[in-house]
Amino acid sequence: MRVCVIGTGYVGLVTGACLAHIGHDVICVDNNEEKVKLMKSGQSPIFEPGLSEIMQAAIANGKIQFTTELSTGVAHGEILFIAVGTPPLPTGESDTRYVEAVARGIGAHLNGGYKVIVNKSTVPIGSGDWVRMIVLDGIAERQKTLVPVGAGRDREQLPEMTVEFDVVSNPEFLREGSAVYDTFNPDRIVLGGNSSKAIAMMQELYAPIVERKYAEDQSLPPVPVLVTDLSSAEMIKYAANAFLATKISFINEVANICDRVGADVTQVAKGIGLDSRIGNKFLNAGIGWGGSCFPKDVAALIHTADDYGYEAQLLKAAVSVNQRQRLIAVEKLQQALKILKGKTVGLLGLTFKPDTDDMRDAPALNLIEQLNRLGAKVKAYDPIVSQSGLRDGLSGVLVETDPERLADGCDALVLVTEWQQFNHLDYAKMAKLMNHPVMIDGRNFLDPETMLRAGFQYIGVGR
């Protein structure tokens, strides 16, 4: 099928590359010329395991193209994905101006033939009908354009054009760091819409994925496809992320109680996770959640509830617990080192999670800010950030190029991001380079006995 993906962030680029990989003809559109030039050369502008490889293969097979011209993408695609960002506003609501601009632009370039317009961006509930209205506005604006018809004659309107399209909500459930895997091995595919024709085209688009042709385990039964109305599909995305964020906040609250009564939250999490009603995922206590999705989506759902006269108390509590949890590492540093003024603290990891270069709303940023406020010198090492230009935008922290340089002269280390590489560092050597070998394990990721043998004073969260 012919596909156009508008927006090449995490969601758009992964979606476009993966659809090209399974055989569709894809054009990705982005208004950033330098980014498009980079992608045309086969380089991914984001770090995502496996993405560069499938991009390069799709380019070589002629299955994916990149352009800045929206008109080219709209003319090409039977299915048009809107995958631009919806960043949070200070009020908590989503900034939908980019979605609006794209929808209006699609309307301005529709030129006959049936199209399915897909909301892939995480958009406020009710956006399906809103996008349809904006597209129609774009069509109307185009049809009102006046053109010259000859010397000495008035201008006249373009003849009205019949345009047929439907809007579908197809929320993404991709995890940064495993987005390519998640695309080919989804738990479910959600399609929201009221057009059987549009839904049928989406089912055809995803058929190879539904049938597990590109799955890690191809013997599994077909991927469940849930067909809903537009609003329910939009709500599913928000509800899923809000539930997962709340689950993390819950186990962090339990961890804080464990710290006070002498229980081990890792054992508690294992015990409750064996309950099939609860499950063991997202029960890892630590210094809280961050990134581009959980904070934005929970805030947006709270704002939606407020708009309709309901106070989402549980969601507000989840946010409050998470905000406090980010400072737990600072409290533990104060307990171990007492006064932090004049001390040097090293952060192991900067990104909000491993296997990504994403620093958006990363807990590390809060730690850097608070440690600076308390007069500490802050150093950091991150497997991706330390090797990229991203560190140029960081302030209040010295980014080191390797873990041993990080440890040298530190009074304590804080494990912030659970990169797998951090399980294999020479901690005994690092401990000898430190003024005080204190390790605050902000993710309960390291083995306490191993750290003690390496010479560290080990402090976990809820352990």
Q: Is the pTM of this model over 0.75?
A: yes
Distance of alpha carbon 38 from alpha carbon 273, whole angstroms? 44
| Calpha distance 251→256 (Å, rounded) | 9
- pLDDT at residue 364 tops 50: yes
**CATH architecture of residue range(s) 2-228:** 3-Layer(aba) Sandwich (3.40)
Give the tokens for residue 452: 């003690």
Kindly report, residue by residue over 89-146, the tens digit of the pLDDT: 888 888 999 999 999 999 999 987 999 999 998 888 889 999 999 999 999 888 776 4
> Percent of the chain at pLDDT above 90?
87
For 291, the token pair is 């990134």
Fold observed for domain 238-324 = N-(1-d-carboxylethyl)-l-norvaline Dehydrogenase; domain 2 (1.10.1040)
Q: Which residue of the set 18, 28, 293, 410 is catalytic?
A: 293
Give every CB contact of residue 129 below 8 A, 6+ residues apart in sequence.
167, 230
The b/e string for 284-300 (b: 16+ C-beta within 10 A; e otherwise) is: bbbbbbbbbbbbbbbbb
| CA 440/CA 328 separation, integer angstroms | 10
Degrees (nearest 5) of the Cα angle 125, 174, 9? 85
Assign domain 326-459 to a CATH class.
alpha beta
> Would strands 156-157 and 146-147 be described as parallel, antiparallel, or unpaired?
antiparallel
- Topology match between the domains 238-324 and 326-459: no
Rounded distance, CA 195 to CA 192, Å? 9
Cα 166 to Cα 36, 110, 117, 129, 200, distances in angstroms: 28, 12, 6, 10, 12
3-state secondary structure of 152: coil
Phi, psi for residue 427 in degrees, rounded to 5: -70, -30
| Closest of 94, 95, 98, 73 to residue 84, by C-alpha | 98
Provide the residue ranges of all domains of the chain, joining segments of one domain with +: 2-228, 238-324, 326-459
H or E, element range at 210: helix 196-210
- Asked whether residue 262 carries a pLDDT value surpassing 90, the answer given is yes
What is the chain's mean pLDDT, rounded?
93
Our answer to whether residue 258 is catalytic in this structure is no
DSSP-based three-state secondary structure for 327: coil
Q: What Cα–Cα distance (Å) separates residue 86 from each residue in 11, 282, 433?
A: 12, 25, 45
Query: How long a stretch of residues is the chain?
Result: 463
What does the pLDDT look like over 302-350, one tens digit per residue? 999 999 999 999 999 999 999 999 999 999 999 999 999 999 999 999 9
